[in-house]
Amino acid sequence: MTDLTPDLIPELTADTLPMAFAQLQLSAPLARAVAEMGYETMTPIQAQAIPVVLQGRDVMGAAQTGTGKTAAFALPLLQRMLKHENASTSPARHPVRALVLLPTRELADQVAEQVSLYGKYTNLRSTVVFGGIDMKPQTAELKKGVEVLVATPGRLLDHIEAKNCVLNQVEYVVLDEADRMLDIGFLPDLQRILSFLPKQRTTLLFSATFSPEIKRLANSYLQDPVTIEVARSNATASTVEQHFYSVADEDKRHALHQILKQRELKQAFVFVNSKLGCARLARSLEREGLKTTALHGDKSQDERLKALESFKKGEVDLLVCTDVAARGLDIKDVPAVFNFDIPFHAEDYVHRIGRTGRAGQSGLAVNFVSKSDARLVADIEKLLKTKIELEALEFEEDLPDIRKQGHINDGRRMYKQEAGDVPREEFPARRREPRNEIRRGNAAPADPFFDKPYEPSLPPEAAPPWEAAAARPGVRTISSNIKSKRNVAALFTSA
């Protein structure tokens, strides 16, 4: 699906889109860097965007991270800026010509790293500025002069106000992850930043979705853009095995342990919906013997970078994270992603599972669906236009009964025990009965609601399919909303 029609770009049609980097005739320093990165074939977004950006056109691109989006804009921008390349040490000879704006520090850091790799054999300079760390070293870099400035909006405004950078020679602006920038509330900052830039420029906007807000932003700031849409990670999804397990909140941690063990997973991302939940879950898992680190917005910049580094180096097994903190992180080969909480926004589901199965690798996405998540799963189903079938999960009995140690999503009990400095060995001994037995012993559940068969609140035609599935009578298992194990149709086979 693309607007890249022959009348827009006369010399390019779907059949003639270049697919090999060699076909682009990039200048020698860029071609060398690309070869060194090991890229031969362009990704779809690259094949479509690079020729358009090389022509100086504005672009509105629907592409997620993991699609090769960074090279899709960075390579043609560097190529176009090569005419300004010079070896002078004078800052005046290195004005900011390209500005790349991103919503989070991690993303900014990651994109800046890629830009500097692509430009390493040129004399074009690049740097990155983001909040949460001292401005001084960033100021020193800016004062030396840089052609490519990668930034988060707030910190860039601080530098503009401090007169650390001048943007009146900017020729190219990239609004990357624009939907997320709007979600975070960066619109006023973006508007201010764009007001400092020359009107005559090329603007590239990348967003996971083209919501009405994004379209308004594009209408205001893009001129006659070429719309490029790469298939919503269908290509990625086909390499990702996805499961939606019906799991009660208090069983989620147990389920996580079990799947890690059964699948022999060495590393995984575990997504939760809140910063507090993130910190608590990481703490609980750590106590249960999994090497875990947490990544959320309340962590200092230093802590966030350290958490990422230790995951990348394989020093930790699990990265428990929130959406904002983890959006777009380029960590290769994450074998699995767990949605410990189903995301509030269906788009985040696509982003989350985009962390695994990258670059053609196979991946696993495991979703823990509790009773209250039906609507959220319905939203995902609607977005992906795919039927989601809820699966049951049978618990092994030789795993530690984590459930007894506290509510998974509510690490308060664990936390208090820890704060009270009670050594773990002194916890009351856990019962060793099989889990089924434990549950059967609970003849009088605290709330009889949870023993009633499921009653959909919507008329049958409006009820999402998994609700009907969940309502089918199943054998009694450890949890009232876990039904007997049954074969589940493969989900999301490639489109």
Quote the least distance from Cβ 279 to ligand AMP, whole Å: 27
Of residues 2 and 274, the one with the C-beta less far from ligand AMP: 2
Residue 342: partners with Cβ closer than 8 Å, 6 or more residues away = 349, 367, 368, 369, 373, 376, 377, 380
Residue 461: partners with Cβ closer than 8 Å, 6 or more residues away = none
Does residue 39 interact with ligand AMP by CB under 6 A?
yes
Choice from 42, 181, 318, 384 touching ligand AMP (CB under 6 A)? 42
Quote the least distance from Cβ 158 to ligand AMP, whole Å: 26
Quote the least distance from Cβ 91 to ligand AMP, whole Å: 29
Residue 253's closest CA among 351, 370, 379, 372?
Answer: 370
Q: Indicate the helix (H) or strand (E) that contains 295.
A: strand 292-295
How many chain residues are in contact with ligand AMP, going by CB under 6 A? 14
Cα separation values, 296 from 6, 273, 276, 292, 313, Å? 45, 10, 9, 13, 19
Does residue 236 interact with ligand AMP by CB under 6 A?
no
Does residue 66 interact with ligand AMP by CB under 6 A?
yes
Q: Indicate the helix (H) or strand (E) that contains 350.
A: helix 346-353
Compute CA 491 distance to the chain's CA centroid, rounded to the nearest angstrom: 21
Q: Which one-letter amino acid corresponds to residue 160?
A: I
Contact positions with ligand AMP (CB under 6 A) in 310-369: 330, 359
Residue 424: partners with Cβ closer than 8 Å, 6 or more residues away = 287
Quote the least distance from Cβ 372 to ligand AMP, whole Å: 33
Q: How far apart are CA 305 and CA 225, in angstroms?
A: 35
Quote the least distance from Cβ 71 to ligand AMP, whole Å: 5
Does residue 153 interact with ligand AMP by CB under 6 A?
no
Choice from 57, 69, 304, 483 touching ligand AMP (CB under 6 A)? 69
Of residues 70 and 292, the one with the C-beta less far from ligand AMP: 70
**Contact at 8 Å (CB) between 15 and 5?**
no
Quote the least distance from Cβ 229 to ligand AMP, whole Å: 15
Quote the least distance from Cβ 330 to ligand AMP, whole Å: 5
Compute CA 437 distance to the chain's CA centroid, rounded to the nearest angstrom: 40
Quote the least distance from Cβ 66 to ligand AMP, whole Å: 5
Does residue 65 interact with ligand AMP by CB under 6 A?
yes
Does residue 157 interact with ligand AMP by CB under 6 A?
no
Does residue 67 interact with ligand AMP by CB under 6 A?
yes
Cα separation values, 468 from 189, 335, 464, Å? 46, 31, 7
Does residue 70 interact with ligand AMP by CB under 6 A?
yes
The DSSP call for residue 359 is G
Number of other CB atoms surrounding residue 219 within 10 Å: 10
Does residue 113 interact with ligand AMP by CB under 6 A?
no
Residue 66's closest CA among 359, 293, 407, 445?
Answer: 359
**Contact at 8 Å (CB) between 435 and 397?**
yes
Of residues 39 and 196, the one with the C-beta less far from ligand AMP: 39
Does residue 68 interact with ligand AMP by CB under 6 A?
yes
Total residue length of the chain? 495
Query: Which one of 69-77, 155-163, 451-459, 483-491 is the stretch in contact with ligand AMP (CB under 6 A)?
Result: 69-77
Of residues 46 and 479, the one with the C-beta less far from ligand AMP: 46
Does residue 196 interact with ligand AMP by CB under 6 A?
no
Of residues 19 and 399, the one with the C-beta less far from ligand AMP: 19
Q: How far apart are CA 291 and CA 272, in angstroms?
A: 17
Quote the least distance from Cβ 294 to ligand AMP, whole Å: 23
Quote the least distance from Cβ 340 to ligand AMP, whole Å: 24
Query: Which one of 42-50, 216-224, 229-237, 466-474 is the stretch in contact with ligand AMP (CB under 6 A)?
Result: 42-50
Sheet-wide strand order for 202-207 = 126-129, 148-151, 98-101, 172-175, 202-207, 59-62, 226-229
**Contact at 8 Å (CB) between 267 and 245?**
no
Quote the least distance from Cβ 362 to ligand AMP, whole Å: 16
Query: Which one of 64-72, 172-180, 228-236, 336-344 is the stretch in contact with ligand AMP (CB under 6 A)?
Result: 64-72
Of residues 34 and 184, the one with the C-beta less far from ligand AMP: 34
Of residues 140 and 359, the one with the C-beta less far from ligand AMP: 359
Choice from 33, 43, 241, 322 touching ligand AMP (CB under 6 A)? 43
Across-strand partners of 365?
242, 337
Does residue 20 interact with ligand AMP by CB under 6 A?
no
What residue ranges bind ligand AMP (CB under 6 A)? 39, 41-43, 46, 65-71, 330, 359
